[in-house]
Amino acid sequence: MKSKKILALVLVIAIMSMGAAYAVWTQKIDIVSSITSGEFAVDIIDAKVTGHSKYVVSEDETNAQNEVITDVVKISDDHKSVTFLAHKLYPGSFIEYKLTLKNNGTIGAITNLEKYKYYLDNQPKTYQELKAFVDSKNITLDIDEVSKPNFFNSLAPKEEYEVKFKIMMNSEATEQFEDFIVKIEPVFEQSVK
């Protein structure tokens, strides 16, 4: 009887060992990981008139037809574009603007003036087409150092950058230009630094 108990105990231990060995050999490991690459978000955080000639409308004003001239500078709801209105330009007059961009993302961004999107009367224009149009109207569009050839603007995460520009009517012009409306949409790409 004693040998039967020992044999039963040995069989129980053997079966348990086989179960444990099988469990170790067939053990499954689940590895779950999450990878994020960063956020790309460059926004226009401010746009305003910084200077102008006398009689050039720089804020809400009533024109000769009692229509209120508003939105001289208007940032879009998504903060990706800005519309500028130069109203009542006359020979020798000007209006200056400042646009502040901020990289609200976690990765660097880079752009240049050639990559910006421009709109005149809601029609898309290249930078060259915009310059040709303003030149034909005796208007000068001066966009500080951004307009220099091969200029690239790089924005590190959380960094701000100001773009200053001026719309002026040449003093040789012979007539007033009532409304000059341009929409600018800066276009950025991921920086590879």
pLDDT band at 80 (very low <50, low <70, confident <90, very high): very high
Q: Could you report the per-residue pLDDT of 161-181, keeping only the tens digit for each?
A: 888 888 888 888 877 777 778
pLDDT of 78 = 94
pLDDT of 76 = 92
pLDDT of 57 = 56
Instruction: Determine the Cα angle at 25 with ends 19 and 28, to 5°.
Output: 110
| C-alpha to C-alpha distances, 171 to 114, 140, 153, 177, 189, nearest whole angstrom | 28, 11, 32, 12, 39
Mean pLDDT for 70-89 is: 82
DSSP string covering 12-75, please? HHHHHHHHHHHHHHT---------------EEEEEEEEEEE-TTSB-SSEE-TTS-EE--SEEE
Domain spans of the chain, in order of start: 42-190
| φ/ψ (deg, to 5) at 105 | -90, -170
pLDDT band at 61 (very low <50, low <70, confident <90, very high): low
- Positive or negative, the Cα torsion across 52, 53, 57, 61? positive
pLDDT of 69 = 46
pLDDT of 149 = 47
pLDDT of 19 = 73
Tell me, yes or no, if the pTM score tops 0.75. Answer: no
Percent of the chain with pLDDT strictly greater than 90 = 7
The yes-or-no verdict on residue 65 having pLDDT over 60 is no
Question: Which token pair is 16?
Answer: 């348990």
- Answer with the residue of higher pLDDT: 119 or 111: 119
Of 48-57, 135-144, 165-174, the one with minimum mean pLDDT is 48-57
Encode 55-70 in three state secondary structure: CCECCCEECCCCCEEC
The yes-or-no verdict on residue 77 having pLDDT over 80 is yes
The yes-or-no verdict on residue 45 having pLDDT over 90 is yes
pLDDT of 79 = 93
Mean pLDDT for 93-122 is: 84
